Structure 1
Amino acid sequence: MTTIDVHDETGTNSQLRAQIADILSRVVPLVEPLTGLDLPGRVTFRIVPPQTWQAEQRGDLVQRMRRFQNLQPLWKQPLIGLQSLMVIGLFRWASPTLGEVLVMGATQPKGGGDESQTLLVPQALQHNGVLSDLKYLTQLVVHELMHQAANFMNRHRGPWVADRPEVLIRQGNVDVLEEGHAHWADQVMSQAEFGTACDVFSAPKSERYKKIASHPLFGLLRPKTDPYAVGRVLVASAIDTVGPRAFNRVWTDARLLPTDAEVAEAAEALAADPPTQPQLWANRLQDTAVTTPGSHPSPSA
């Protein structure tokens, strides 16, 4: 049984805390039946001020960069160290705006175990329009909950690291997989909850959000491939083909991570008029699948 912990560390958002706790009580039982993933014994959501978000996200980034550096050959480590300083410096510059305005939620490891915690900043939720309708808040909570489930499945990318150390710094198409899978699940669950899938990206943004998001410097921080939209198409096609349980092998086998060519095909499929369904990654997963009793295809969102 999964224990649900929701904390309001701002002292002024008790209603938001109650809403999140209520959403989690409804969606936590749906995770395993719909996705085949288990949750840890405890899921933690924290409503925090922007300064807490900045400090804890920076700490997580420093830990990941340091671990990545230590996994490199000795001759590479000084260069990786310099690159790490640049990345951390850039994050330090951008984090006040990211945490207070642009980022809806952030899920990271909790302590040294397999549990995770999700940090939510009320100001950022407001700027993103998440608080304008309960369906948007529900979609966001489900999305971050799925990151906690995936983290529990693969011990925060642990099984991938030996073969692909770059996953620690979110390279190797890891963001496309993780965000795409969470977005696929939030669409499936919001469909089940409200009768139609929700699109939190269309929620009404504040004028401050619009101004900052359109700034060229923040445009440079965006990935070339949208990990949410392209990732959802990629994951939906794969789960349609092999079913959620066979799909979940990807969380523990770095060889099954999507390749650049497979992600590119998904981007082309999404951009087609009308959109098509990518097949390269789905076919590879099917070719390597081991029949699992009880596994079955799941409808895409």
Structure 2
Amino acid sequence: MTKISVQTHLTGYDELADELHDLLIRAVRPVEQVTGLPVPDTVEIALVSADDLGTAYGAFMRRRVGRDIAGLTLTESQQARIPRVGLAASHTARVFCGHDEPCLIDNGVGHLRTLLVPDSLLLRGVNTADLRCDQMVRVLTRHAQAAASGGEIVPAGGWPYPTRYGKDFIAQLSDAHADWTSRKATDLVLDRPAIREPSRKPSTSLLRRAVLGVDPLLERRTRARARAFVERAVDAVGPTAFNRVWADRNLIPTRAEMRRPALWAKRLSA
């Protein structure tokens, strides 16, 4: 049985923590049923401030960089960037991640934890029970992905990542798979069709462009392509075979395969 923990030291969020805890408990079986992935024995969620998220994420990225550069030959430019990675990650998390999706990190020894800034739920339009349920299904799915990968996909690797693994495609695949799961499992948790339209639209597009230089239109197209890949790939090979992608980085789809899932399915069966 999965042990669910939702912790907060923030004033005024005990009721939210209790609601998320209940949703997570109810979502475990539907997520496992839909994905074919086991949810880890322990799932820990922490409701934190943006500053606390930034500190934790910066520390996580420093650990991840240390892991990813092991055995690599770095250029002088890359070596000069290493000390700045943690600081940059911490700053970006404080300014931006507090307004975005919950952040999955590990402590370097396989202990997974999702950090969530409560105010980000309203900023992203997650302002109904149905949408909070959808969000918790995504959280559980990412924990299951990370556990299946042996902690490699947390959340998408660090820098400098070996380019042959397609760092960006890992992130796209993880997000798209969580989205695919939420569209199927959330209705099972609620025992009725979920209403997914927020009462007001989230307002992070300008922030994403200003802080990270993200083109919202390009981002929407990229996400749509990744979602289409997951949908077609799972239909072609089934959830069990699809889940091999989490444990074997060589199965991460290439750019061509993201556009043509049949190529990936053929390589998977080879």
Fold match, TM over 0.5? yes
**More displaced stretch, 235-244 vs 61-70:** 61-70
Q: CA deviation at 1:157?
A: 1.6
Aligned partners of 2:245 and 2:205: how far apart in 1?
A: 36
> Is 1:71–1:165's contact at 8 Å kept on the other side of the alignment?
no
Structure with larger RCO (C-alpha < 8 A, sep 6+): 2
Partner of 1:80: 78
> Is 1:176–1:230's contact at 8 Å kept on the other side of the alignment?
no
Partner of 1:291: none
Aligned partners of 2:78 and 2:167: how far apart in 1?
A: 14
**More displaced stretch, 244-253 vs 78-87:** 78-87
Stretches of structure 2 lacking an aligned partner (at least 5 in a row): none
Is residue 2:97 matched to residue 1:99?
A: yes
Is residue 2:21 matched to residue 1:38?
A: no
Is residue 2:133 matched to residue 1:138?
A: yes
Is residue 2:264 matched to residue 1:281?
A: yes
**More displaced stretch, 31-40 vs 15-24:** 31-40
Aligned length: 264
Partner of 2:13: 13
**More displaced stretch, 226-235 vs 117-126:** 226-235
Aligned partners of 2:241 and 2:189: how far apart in 1?
A: 25
Partner of 1:247: 242
SS at match of 1:156: coil
SS at match of 1:46: strand
Aligned partners of 1:84 and 1:223: how far apart in 2?
A: 31
SS at match of 2:151: coil
RMSD between aligned residues: 3.1
Q: CA deviation at 1:92?
A: 3.9
> Is 1:139–1:198's contact at 8 Å kept on the other side of the alignment?
no
TM-score (norm 1): 0.76
> Is 1:7–1:45's contact at 8 Å kept on the other side of the alignment?
yes
Q: CA deviation at 1:95?
A: 2.6
> Is 1:166–1:172's contact at 8 Å kept on the other side of the alignment?
no
1:201-226 deviation per Cα after TM superposition (whole angstroms, max 9, x unaligned) = x662466x46534x444334879555
* Counterpart mapping for 1:51-200 below 5 A: 51-73=51-73, 76=74, 78-100=76-98, 102-110=99-107, 112-113=109-110, 115-130=111-126, 132-157=127-152, 165-166=161-162, 171=167, 173-194=169-190, 195-196=192-193, 199=196
Aligned partners of 2:207 and 2:148: how far apart in 1?
A: 36
1:157-186 deviation per Cα after TM superposition (whole angstroms, max 9, x unaligned) = 28x99xx9538x971511122111111111
Aligned partners of 2:146 and 2:202: how far apart in 1?
A: 32
> Is 1:143–1:182's contact at 8 Å kept on the other side of the alignment?
yes
Is residue 2:201 matched to residue 1:218?
A: no
* Change over 3 Å in CA distance of 1:20–1:258 after alignment to 2: same
Task: Tell me which amino acid in the other structure corresponds to 2:101.
Answer: M
Q: CA deviation at 1:111?
A: 5.3
Partner of 1:270: none
1:11-37 deviation per Cα after TM superposition (whole angstroms, max 9, x unaligned) = 320111011011011111222222111
* Change over 3 Å in CA distance of 1:9–1:177 after alignment to 2: same
> Is 1:188–1:197's contact at 8 Å kept on the other side of the alignment?
no
